[in-house]
Amino acid sequence: MHIPDHFLSPTTWIGASAISGGALAYAAKKTQKKLDERQVPWMGVMGAFIFAAQMVNFPVAGGTSGHLLGSMLAAVVLGPWPTMIIMSTILGIQCLFFQDGGITALGANILNMAVVGTWTGYGTYRLLLRLLPGTWGQKAAIFAGGWMSVFLASIVAAFELAFSDTLPLSLALPAMAGWHSLIGIGEGLITVAVIQYLLRVKPELNIAPIKGGMNVHG
């Protein structure tokens, strides 16, 4: 899903960078206000895990690529605000050191994966938790949030490519949405499996709202 250089028009990548910059500044403020010592090492562990998972890329039409995001996983464990920072750091490292995504497109990639991916997935998860009771309801909410985080991030990327006249929307949208609807299934399953594993081996995490609240809200 990383968009390379020269795929976005200046208007598109400058606008996306401005939105991403504002969102990250607010996320940093919220995280600094709520962060406690227990979460700092988990931010590092979660970042390392997601970084490794994102190195597995799936080719998508138009020269772009798709991969597991991990934003939903981090948001459930730590909350959406620190997740935005984790995801943005990962994307920055991948861009600067691995040429995975363009420098000019970094703001757009952050917008798609760190902002849209985090909040659409986490919002879906929280909404479904209220509607689907019980353990299986929780698993379904996690799965749906993981799927939605990938799918909607890809939709936004498709519109960015179309606004930049790189690809017509009639090509970009079905290509990105089609591939990522499948990738999202893997994202959802992996997210459920990892969170269930963490609940078994690290019950002291008290992953919220499943068990009452480690993550940063507010």
- Point out which residues pair with 65 in neighbouring strands: 59
pLDDT of amino acid 59: 61
Residue 86 counted as domain residue: yes
Residue 136 counted as domain residue: yes
pLDDT of amino acid 11: 97
Give the predicted TM-score (pTM) of the model: 0.88
Give the residue, 12 or 32, on which the prediction is more confident: 12
Measured CA to CA, the distance from residue 183 to residue 157 in angstroms comes to: 15
Which residues constitute the domain of residue 120? 10-205
Residue 1 counted as domain residue: no
* CATH number reported for the structural domain that contains residue 198 in this entry: 1.10.1760.20
DSSP 105: T
**Is the pLDDT score of 29 beyond 60?**
yes
DSSP 7: S
User: 37 with 194: CB under 8 angstroms?
Assistant: no
Mean pLDDT, residues 146-174 taken together: 95
pLDDT of amino acid 216: 38
119 — pLDDT class (breaks 50, 70, 90):
very high
**Is the pLDDT score of 218 beyond 60?**
no
How many other C-beta atoms are found inside a 10 Å radius of the C-beta of residue 61? Answer: 13
How many other C-beta atoms are found inside a 10 Å radius of the C-beta of residue 39? Answer: 20
Q: What type of residue is 193?
A: A
Residue 34 counted as domain residue: yes
**Is the pLDDT score of 62 beyond 70?**
no
pLDDT of amino acid 208: 52
List the structure tokens of 104. 């000019």
Residue 159 counted as domain residue: yes
Measured CA to CA, the distance from residue 24 to residue 57 in angstroms comes to: 25
Residue 147 counted as domain residue: yes
Measured CA to CA, the distance from residue 159 to residue 59 in angstroms comes to: 18
Give the percent of the chain with pLDDT over 90.
Answer: 60
Residue 215 counted as domain residue: no
Measured CA to CA, the distance from residue 114 to residue 82 in angstroms comes to: 10
The pLDDT mean for the chain works out to 86
Contacts of 182 (CB under 8 A, 6+ apart): none
Query: How many structural domains is the chain composed of?
Result: 1
pLDDT of amino acid 162: 96
